[in-house]
Structure 1
Amino acid sequence: MTALPSLRETLDAHGLMAKKSFGQHFLLDLNVTRKIVRLAGPFDGRAVIEVGPGPGGLTRALMESDAGRVILVEKDPRFIPLLSELDDGSGRLTIVEGDALHVQEAALVTGPTHLVSNLPYNVGTPLLIKWLTGPWRPHALTLMFQKEVAERIVAQPGQSAYGRLAVIAQTVAEARLAMHLPAAAFTPPPKVASAVVHLVPRSDVPEPSVLKRLEQVTAAAFGQRRKMLRSSLKSLGGADLCDRAGIDPDARAETVDPAGFVRLAEASIL
């Protein structure tokens, strides 16, 4: 990998710039991308999927790691030739041109698989929900988001950032903030800071039917977060639903922990 030109030189050689419509902000500092990969690993020969690799800053660090395979999912066709230059001939690198929201990960890889990505800002949350609640579940996820989104993922009950995303993420995985990055670390610099979240799926994840209902319950509860649950959940059973779940009907959504919301979801199915 040391013989490769710098990322900035590669971008210039290909005449490539970030597309605002794709939410692209490139991380070109290999010291930073290597640190992210260290936080995500060790991989112990397991496969890694990277979404939105762009010019390949994170990809270079992944190819230096102990990952068995590195599978790239890139929507922007401009970057496919550039990413192909990172193939070292070992057969470890696979490049998939496509939209990660619609990609079937199980068709790309078998066995325990890590997700390590600097996610495009405009699809970061939908992708996280897909991976946490869908039929395919990764071994671990190390993902970069806008700082505000990252804080919402790890927020605790009673905090202003606590909401649907925290409940769903923490129901399915152990989540922690692993790293903060200033806007100046990116090219072009976004208007906000970023942060890396590391998530490890739990062994006691609720059934798919419960997760689906959890999305509905949290949408109703946090859609009217200033109201008591007896009011915000009225369409799902209101006070009766809360009583069945052992939750105070006069409580507000922001005070109920993820386990409480799971009980509400389960009770709403009965």
Structure 2
Amino acid sequence: MDLHRLFSSERNLYKLVKKLLSEEGIKPKKKLSQTFLIDAEELEYLSSILRKTIDKQQCIVEIGAGIGNLTTYIASLNNDKIVVALEIDERFASVLRIIQEAFPNVDIVIGDALKIIPSMRGCNVVVGNLPYHITSSLLVAIAKSSFDLALVTVQKEVAERVVAKAGSKNYGKIAIFLQHLFEVTYVKTIPLYKFYPKPRVNSAIVLLKRKKAYDLMSQTLEHLIKCLFSFKRKTADKALKRCLKEFEASEKCRLQEIWRKRVYQLTVEELERVAIACMYANQKT
């Protein structure tokens, strides 16, 4: 069976996805945010980015393989790479086994990506249409893992948040945390009608390229911004006083040059300097 040919046009893809779901008796579950990209051009675009961006012989992890539409494209256009497709819903196992038999570079794993991602070794690229209900949790798990590159489709609103700059309305904890660890790029918007079942909102492709590993400083920053953004409209000086008491940190963490700024105006670089100052000051106490 030439699966790539079957998935080669939007019309074929839409019909094929509906047919496979019907034959397997699968009704997409809203609680799992199950929706499938049915636009051939977008699937090829995602797969071609991987082909151009990563080296040969690398391992690609796909989150939420579902019916296997993206899996098929990735495996076909990246046949020199191993594709490990994760899917939590056992109902898709039989369909995914057909893809595994058709492509020798595909491995199927039925399990929870949130539990699997933190312990994965040997794969440094992750891709997928992230389930809406756990998007933020998955992004954090990817950030704390050993993945060097992530190419993910998320809600457009989430994509706008992760690329937001200091002082903007969308700027917050997830933007700071991801931009601390990655070069974050908003690649493009995907309209909601290119999915089946059709979601309520548009989606967007985001590319994350690793800048640094998650380490002790990253952990300090993560806890710091969690506290600071509970007081995002307060001045940095007042917010830091409250947060440093919580962390039992030294007053030396309070950098004078940022005192008068509001918390939401602090750049990633400024917050990194605060985290480093706290680490250094506490080592001295």
Superposition TM-score, scaled by structure 1 size: 0.89
Matched, 1:236 2:247: no
Counterpart pick for 2:69 among 51, 57, 80: 57
What is the SS of the residue equivalent to 2:115?
Answer: coil
Matched, 1:137 2:146: yes
Ranges in structure 1 where 5+ consecutive residues have no aligned partner: none
Ranges in structure 2 where 5+ consecutive residues have no aligned partner: 8-15
User: Residue 10 of structure 1: CA displacement?
Assistant: 1.6
C-alpha contact (below 8 Å) 1:230/1:242 kept by paired residues: no
When structure 1 is superposed on structure 2, of 246-255 and 179-188 the one drifting more is 246-255
Structure-1 residue corresponding to 2:22:
12
Matched, 1:175 2:175: no
User: Residue 17 of structure 1: CA displacement?
Assistant: 2.2
C-alpha contact (below 8 Å) 1:140/1:200 kept by paired residues: yes
Structure 1 counterpart of 2:237, which letter?
Answer: R
Higher helix share: 2
What is the SS of the residue equivalent to 2:174?
Answer: helix
Q: How many matched pairs?
A: 263
**Which digits, 9 at most, give the CA deviation of each residue in 1:45-89, with x for residues without a partner?**
311100111111111111112251110111111111111111245
Partner Cα distance (1:241, 1:115) in 2: 39
Structure-2 residue corresponding to 1:115:
126
Structure-1 residue corresponding to 2:38:
28
Structure 1 counterpart of 2:69, which letter?
Answer: G
C-alpha contact (below 8 Å) 2:187/2:207 kept by paired residues: yes
Superposition TM-score, scaled by structure 2 size: 0.85
User: Residue 231 of structure 1: CA displacement?
Assistant: 2.1
Partner Cα distance (1:257, 1:128) in 2: 20
Structure 2 counterpart of 1:117, which letter?
Answer: G
C-alpha contact (below 8 Å) 1:242/1:248 kept by paired residues: no
Matched, 1:253 2:270: no
**Which digits, 9 at most, give the CA deviation of each residue in 1:199-243, with x for residues without a partner?**
1001x44x6211111111111121221111222222333893553
C-alpha contact (below 8 Å) 2:4/2:73 kept by paired residues: no
When structure 1 is superposed on structure 2, of 41-50 and 4-13 the one drifting more is 4-13
C-alpha contact (below 8 Å) 1:72/1:96 kept by paired residues: yes
Partner Cα distance (1:132, 1:247) in 2: 29
Among all aligned residue pairs of Structure 1 and Structure 2, give the percentage whose two residues are the same amino acid. 27
Matched, 1:96 2:109: yes
Counterpart pick for 2:86 among 50, 67, 73: 73
C-alpha contact (below 8 Å) 2:253/2:275 kept by paired residues: no
Structure-2 residue corresponding to 1:39:
49
Structure 1 counterpart of 2:34, which letter?
Answer: Q
Counterpart pick for 2:162 among 149, 153, 164: 153
Structure 1 counterpart of 2:63, which letter?
Answer: V
Partner Cα distance (1:123, 1:150) in 2: 14
Structure 2 counterpart of 1:258, which letter?
Answer: V
CA pair 4-88 structure 1, distance change in 2 beyond 3 A: farther
